[in-house]
Amino acid sequence: MNRRAARERIAALGHPLHPNRFPATHLVSDVVGRWGGSDSAALEAEPEEARRVALPGRILAIRKMGKAVFLDLSDGLKRVQAYVRKDGVGDGGWALLENLDLGDHVGVTGTVFRTRTGELSVKAGSLVFLAKCLRPLPDKWHGLTDIEIKYRQRYVDLIVSEETRRTFEVRARVVSYVRRFFDARGFLEVETPMMQLIAGGAAARPFITHHNALDVDLYLRIAPELYLKRLVTGGFPKVYEINRNFRNEGISTQHNPEFTMLEFYTAYADARDQMALTEELLAGAAREILGTTQLPWGEETISFEAPFRRLSMKDAVVEYGRDVPGGPIRPDELGSLPGLKVAAGRAGVKYLARFGADPGKLLAELFETLAEPHLLQPTFVVDYPAEISPLAKARPDDPKTADRFELFVGRMELANGFSELNDPDEQAEKFRAQVAQRAKGDDEAMLYDEDYVEALSYGMPPTAGEGVGIDRLAMLFTNSRSIRDVILFPLMRPKGTGR
């Protein structure tokens, strides 16, 4: 109520409570950028006229010193202090000052100088009111520690946390870099349907919605993959899309129901070419955005220096399965179903029964249990089982192994790519196998997409495709441990709803 009372007093002093504009000559960042490097002597050497600014900002600190006051002004990005003296702004300005609170917006007109302690400051000649903050800001010293408010009321987080601000600026630069990277290499950015009759291109549960006029159920896409490959078939040899995917799965530090995916397709290329392109993309992004390929990750460091390590899924299981109780995992065990079952038993793979009949799923499960938690440095895991890769082409030398890779960084799956299956008959066969699995209760198995098979029958050139999780990439580039830290408005349980 104090703040509302202060607002009333400001109005009584004759100040408009919601002025339409302030004739700013600079923002705080401009002042810091222009004079941040000038010491006191350099500033004094400039004529006063050249140091005059009309500077708006939000008040983030008030230090009263009797008949002088220091205000920390922020433009969200930088801070600079205003030095307001009673004899500088007069009785009117002083009366206004006495009714200002933390969070209010004001405009200061004055001269840039440095105080005797060397702090860059603006000596106020006048002070105008711009907007009132009626709610108290979080604790000035501890900041916003309530992680729920941080996510639910991101605007409050952004007001007080320069780190949060920086995180989202880095994220924006990542996306911008990705676009420039692909544009420069002749890729066409496209947008494909978010609402699909068949949610294809990945194994996940979709969200469902309904179109009234057509009276059809539609799915929010779980991936753009099948549409992008239709475009390659249609004659765009290089396409990419950066957009949201929606998966009706759990929420965790690495999962948000809607997340941003980069997918790109290169005709006439294979999985190896995509890996090389990916290394170039990530190392280049790190260098340009962060100025280094050595990224801090908690107490550790991740090196985005190319080339990244290549490791087959089986080799990974053997390498990280050495200390399994009951004896190390042996390469010969991974070649047969009985051997895999024995190995999985020793490794303590969960839900053994569910994957027991499928050697591909069993190997993937072994990999996830034993190897994935160790893959801190960027590692391309290659040679995925064909059974778990229904949209991928097999290796030319081995029909049981998909020409597929996944990139792991920071113990997370960051990217997934492969040489695309372009044989319509084989694709039809794989869809049928997926449908059969679905009938057996696997509700993440894919649906048969008849139109996609027809598209392939028109002839898709040899093509490699890949998806990269942009949110996770943003996590890596900002040293964020939770995906919620890199999504401005992550999905939260609505307030007041029970479980």
Partner RNA sequence: GGGCCGUUAGCUCAGUUGGUUAGAGCAUCUGCCUUUUAAGCAGGGGGUCCCGGGUUCGAGUCCCGGACGGCUCACCA
18 interacts with RNA by CB under 7 A: no
Among the listed ranges 175-183, 262-270, 281-289, 407-415, the one in contact with RNA (CB under 7 A) is 407-415
**Nearer to RNA by C-beta: 87 or 397?**
87
Q: Which of 28, 102, 362, 476 binds RNA (CB under 7 A)?
A: 102
Which residue, 126 or 457, has its beta carbon nearer to RNA?
A: 126
| Position among 444, 447, 448, 488 found at the interface with RNA (CB under 7 A) | 444
* Nearest to RNA of 331, 373 (CB atom): 373
Peptide bond preceding 307 in cis form (omega within 30 of 0): yes
If the CB atoms of residues 82 and 130 are measured against RNA, the closer one turns out to be 82
Tell me which stretch binds RNA (CB under 7 A): 22-30, 61-69, 177-185, 314-322: 61-69
- 379 in contact with RNA (CB under 7 A): no
What is the CB-side half-sphere exposure of residue 84 using CA atoms within 13 A?
Answer: 30
Please report whether residue 121 would count as binding RNA according to CB under 7 A: yes
Under rule CB under 7 A, residue 441 binds RNA: no
Q: Candidates 16-24, 144-152, 183-191, 419-427 — which segment interacts with RNA by CB under 7 A?
A: 144-152
Closer Cβ to RNA, 305 or 413, answer by number: 413
The reply on whether position 4 binds RNA by CB under 7 A is no
Binding of RNA by 336 (CB under 7 A): no
Q: Which two tokens stand for residue 381?
A: 């895991």
Contact with RNA (CB under 7 A) among 4, 67, 166, 432: 67
Q: Pick between residue 464 and residue 487 the one whose CB is nearest to RNA.
A: 487
Please state whether beta strands 120-131 and 79-85 pair in parallel, antiparallel, or not at all (unpaired). Answer: parallel
Contact pick of 350, 374, 400, 432 for RNA (by CB under 7 A):
350
Is beta strand 309-312 parallel, antiparallel or unpaired with respect to 379-385?
A: parallel
Interaction between residue 337 and RNA (CB under 7 A): no
* Residues 72, 162: Cα–Cα separation, whole Å: 14
Distances (CA, A) of 268 to 96, 227, 420: 69, 18, 10
From 381, 375, 403, 412, select the one nearest 273 (Cα to Cα).
403
Is 244 one of the binding residues for RNA (CB under 7 A)? Answer: no
Amino acid letter for position 161: S
Which residues neighbour 428 within 8 Å (Cβ) at sequence distance 6 or greater? Answer: 448, 453
Q: What residues from 269 to 328 belong to the interface with RNA (CB under 7 A)?
A: none
496: alpha, beta or left? (left if phi > 0; alpha if psi -120 to 50): left
Separation of CA 115 from chain center: 41
Site membership for RNA, residue 41 (CB under 7 A): no
- Which of 37, 41, 91, 141 contacts RNA by CB under 7 A? 141
Q: Which long-range contacts (CB under 8 A, 24 or more apart) does 472-475 make?
A: 472/254, 472/410, 472/412, 472/413, 472/414, 473/174, 473/282, 473/285, 473/414, 474/167, 474/170, 474/171, 474/174, 475/410, 475/412
Q: Any contact of residue 249 with RNA (CB under 7 A)?
A: yes
Long-range contacts of 10-17 (CB under 8 A, 24+ apart): 10/96, 10/99, 10/129, 10/132, 13/92, 13/95, 13/96, 13/99, 15/96, 15/128, 15/129, 16/129, 17/129, 17/131, 17/132
Among 240, 259, 265, 431, binds RNA (CB under 7 A): 259
Residue 439 to residue 343: CA distance in whole angstroms = 29
> Residue 54 in contact with residue 111, Cβ under 8 Å?
no
70 binds RNA (CB under 7 A): yes
Asked if 400 touches RNA (CB under 7 A), the answer is no
**Separation of alpha carbons 440 and 488, rounded Å:** 39
Task: DSSP letter for 485, please.
Answer: G
| Site map (CB under 7 A) of RNA, residues 192-231, x = contact | ----------xxxx--------------------------
- Minimum Å gap between C-beta 495 and RNA is 6
Using CB under 7 A, pick the residue from 89, 469, 473, 486 that binds RNA: 469
Nearest approach, Cβ of 297 to RNA (angstroms)?
Answer: 14
We find the least distance from the C-beta atom of residue 356 to RNA, in angstroms, to be 13
Among 472, 473, 474, 480, binds RNA (CB under 7 A): 472
Give yes or no for residue 148 binding RNA (CB under 7 A). yes
- Amino acid, single-letter form, for residue 190: V
Please identify, among the stretches 164-172, 251-259, 331-339, 374-382, the one whose residues bind RNA according to the rule CB under 7 A: 251-259
Does the footprint of RNA cover residue 374 (CB under 7 A)? no
C-alpha distance from residue 395 to each of 24, 174, 331 (Å): 63, 33, 20
HSE-CB of 121 using CA atoms within 13 angstroms: 18
Taking the complex as a whole, the smallest distance from the CB of residue 18 to RNA amounts, in Å, to: 21
Q: Which of 258, 256, 247 is nearest to 208 (CA)?
A: 247
Instruction: Count residues near RNA (CB under 7 A).
Output: 72
User: Which one among 57, 138, 390, 465 touches RNA, defined by CB under 7 A?
Assistant: 138
Minimum distance between the CB of residue 499 and RNA, rounded to whole angstroms?
A: 4
What's the number of CA atoms in the CB half-sphere (13 Å) around residue 67?
6
Cross-strand bridge partners of residue 415:
407, 468
